[in-house]
Structure 1
């Protein structure tokens, strides 16, 4: 029987683990299939406070883990296949660990960026291919980049990247965008944004010396393949919150993000808390994830100490 189990080891889960361990709650942290979360696929992180010269994403995550371990957090590798949140203690079926029981649960399983699934894409993540303009746009100052996608997020990424890049090419597989009219109008009025419509991405082409040379696309109008030469490729086709294992036992929005009580991390089940990108469809930054991780730890500690006996499910 555990007092609290934390699912996920991104900035949210590790921050929660640090706070819980310092409060002598002896948290068990389940690492999942991608220990460290999305930051482990990022090279230089320059916008996390406290690192004036930047820090490598994997190094930042490793430092956070060591900090949590120093205060007594326990880490185990495995991933949750099933949960029973119908009553306390909660039961978790964890591949590699068997069945676990816990008095409280913090879910920080994150959201995975949807990828194109084409050759050269995964190999160049963090080396010219990115899923976050806010995180990596600065590295493309004075360069030419492509944004793949046709929704609001793609238009937002494209507009943001024009602050740094000399030219932003929006690549979309159809002749019509899915984005809202206001987002389309904003992008079309931006002189730095160019359009490559009816182009289906088929391969990320690498340079011999490393890095991205361009994006090979299939032109649906001519039937020919073309190479769009760019220095960076931003994939903006959406994110998928990692909540399938919950099997509908927590209230989520239409996209699957866990809903929390405003101003807290409480979910629709008392004793279960959510933090990080799994409940954040707006910001998705390391620093905001860490902040909600701190909130979840404090909410959880107060719950276990009996300070939070309200049935929050009625307000969600």
Structure 2
């Protein structure tokens, strides 16, 4: 198995929303804000090459939304899925599976595109299966008022309409996605049944953190996003996961941190804290 980072376009979000009840005087030490209180965010997707399968995990925002929409998020279009895949020697037609950790627009927007000859929406990966899970799919297609602005129907419904949707059974909180050769942890604090992939490579465990740990600045337990639907549950899920990660030396791949690609964590007298930072090149080259 090989894994590669795929940069889908940096953007910005409100720092207060990203850190919830934590005061700015604390969170800005690791995630400095601009004059509009916005902090830098990445959309670091992951490409997994295993046997004859090529799986893309998350897709960023994509490029089909309006200029006004992207203006809210200060989108940096220097990176996009097509160019990032091309840099790795692949194209969208090579992707066999698209695995969506959850269906918020910054994670699945690139899954759907407008047809070149019309405004018809279609899957951006014509030959791929798209993977979600039944509980989260229902949650996203019948959204609550809190998350409605994050679950955009144009990003979600065309997946099912195309016949390319596959729903992963969620019969326990940890299971193996056998087709794609990795394990999945299901968590519920951020949103219902978000999926956190775990990979075993050369004796090391790599975990793609999605929104369970958006940036390295979110390692301390109380640093929980205002976007989370069940923040107290996030506290519990983070604590259990970070204890395992520190004890077992997991390598944590950060989807939203533009400055830290991969980190490790360690036990300290103040709880689990950020330890080392690595790039993909440092680990895999």
TM-score computed with the length of structure 1 as normaliser: 0.28
Higher-Rg member (1/2):
1
